[in-house]
Structures are given as structure tokens and as C-alpha cells.
Amino acid sequence: MGDIYNILLTGVGGQGIVLLGNILREYGMRFPLIQNVVGTETRGVSQREGSVLATARYLIDSKIYSLDQNFEVEELISPLIPINEAHLVMGLEPLETIRNLRYISERTVVIMNTHRNYPRNVILKAEKTKKYPSLGYIIEILDQLARRTISLDFNELAKTKFDEAIYSNVILLGVGAREFQEVFNKNLMLTVIKDFFGEDSLNLDAFNLGYSLINYD
């Protein structure tokens, strides 16, 4: 018995979406209460500023995450998340987060980096009618649909703390892990990050920063 826990990662090529997907699936592989892991990612445009999407899906033992449905281990094989069924959405870019509204519903926690990456055709005069939507509009829609939305300029935070914006994705991962403590064991996640980036990687500090970022008292 168990339930499926769905994570969606979205952003722009070069932000480390594929890497985060790998970290999350590797975590799922090692966490004893997760019985099966699948996932997928869009490919081909990651070098070229395109929209990128990755998924990680866990089949979780009902002991910690009980719901009414019974799944057999071998049945969790679809790598795609059905409509409305994401539990955690990590949006590394606002436009790409709202583009994947399909998966966001009242069961979803959205953690969004508000740092915007403008598509070429918005800057050029190519698409006069299609503007980059305002941050206010994006957050308003997410607030309406999602259970909870946490939005922050993670690039700014990463630059302030670590001098480089590239750590923004792992800080965001830390926030997500804290939000779903029942699924993410902090120490195991740190071990996985260590295995990906090395003993003394700043990514460990970045994860810890994200983990303690939000005050839950």
C-alpha cells in the first residue's frame, strides 16, 4: 500500500533542471520508505535557452504518507504527472512556472524563483502582443490554484550569500525539502548532494540555507 508523490521541476535550459531531477530521483532510490522511483525530462533544447521540464515520482510506503489508494510497486511506471497532481513544483523561472499550471492544484506547494529570464522574442519586437506577464499576475494565479506558494528571488539570495547565482537551485531544493519533511530526510539529502558535488561543495551550505530559510513557528 502506498501513494504516489509527484515533483515537477521547471525552468530554462542551463538552470540545472536535469541535474536537480537526477538528485531527486537518486534520493528516491536511496530512501527506504520510497518503494519505487520514475521520472522523465525534456531534452534537446537545454543548451539553447528553451523551456526545460523534469519530473520525479515516488511510490511511498503508506506508513508515512497514507491515502486511500492501493498501489503495487511495479505499477508506478508512467513518468508523466497527470493533470492537477503535482505535490511539489520547483519553478526556477516565473514564466516557466506558470506555463506548467496544468499540474498545479490545491494539493500543490509551489516554490518559485522570481528572477526572470526574458525570452528573445519579448525583447525583440517579434511578439508585440505577447508580453512577459507581471510577477504580480503570476503570483496571484499561483495563489489561487496552489495550496501554498513561496516566491523569492533566489538568484539575489545566492549572489549575496555565495557570490554566484548558480547556487539558487540547490537553495530552492532546501526550501522544498523542509516543506515536505515527511518525504525528505535532511541527512540523506545532504549525502546525495555530497555524492553529486563533492565533500566541500558550497551546495551543501546552499541546501542548509534553503532548509532553514522559512520560519515555521
**Site membership for another protein, residue 122 (CB under 8 A):** yes
Q: Of 151-170, which residues contact another protein (CB under 8 A)?
A: 165-166
Nearest one of 211, 210, 196 to 168, comparing CA atoms: 210
User: Per CB under 8 A, does 99 bind another protein?
Assistant: yes
Under rule CB under 8 A, residue 95 binds another protein? yes
Q: Which stretch binds another protein (CB under 8 A): 99-107, 168-176, 182-190, 196-204?
A: 99-107
With binding defined as CB under 8 A, does residue 212 bind another protein?
A: no
Q: Give the count of beta carbons closer than 10 Å to the beta carbon of residue 160.
A: 9
Query: Is 80 in contact with 40 (CB distance < 8 Å)?
Result: yes
Residue 198 contacts another protein per CB under 8 A: no
Interface with another protein (CB under 8 A), residue from 134, 148, 212, 214: 134
Closer to another protein by CB, 145 or 190: give it: 145
Contact stretch for another protein (CB under 8 A) within 68-76, 167-175, 178-186, 191-199: 68-76
- Cell 510506503, located at residue: 61
Tell the smallest beta-carbon distance from residue 217 to another protein (Å): 28
- Classify residue 144 as exposed, middle or buried by CB count within 10 Å of its CB (0-12, 13-18, 19+): exposed
Q: Does 124 bind another protein (CB under 8 A)?
A: yes
- Bridge partners, residue 56, by sequence: 7, 39
From 112-120, 172-180, 190-198, 203-211, span contacting another protein (CB under 8 A) = 112-120
Which residues make beta-bridge pairs with 37? 58
Q: Which is nearer to another protein, 38 or 213 (CB)?
A: 38
The CA distance from 175 to 214, in Å, is: 7
How far is Cα of residue 132 from the mean position of the Cα atoms in its chain? Answer: 22
Best CA proximity match to 108, nearest among 123, 90, 127: 90
- The reply on whether position 44 binds another protein by CB under 8 A is yes
Is residue 48 close enough to count as binding another protein by CB under 8 A? yes
Name the residue with cell 525534456: 42
53: helix, strand or coil? strand
DSSP state of 52: E
Q: What is the rounded CA–CA span in Å between residue 143 and residue 146?
A: 6
Q: Does 14 bind another protein (CB under 8 A)?
A: yes
The footprint of another protein (CB under 8 A) covers: 12, 14, 21, 25-26, 29, 36-45, 47-51, 69, 71, 75, 77-80, 82-84, 95, 98-99, 101-102, 105, 116-127, 130-136, 141, 145, 165-166
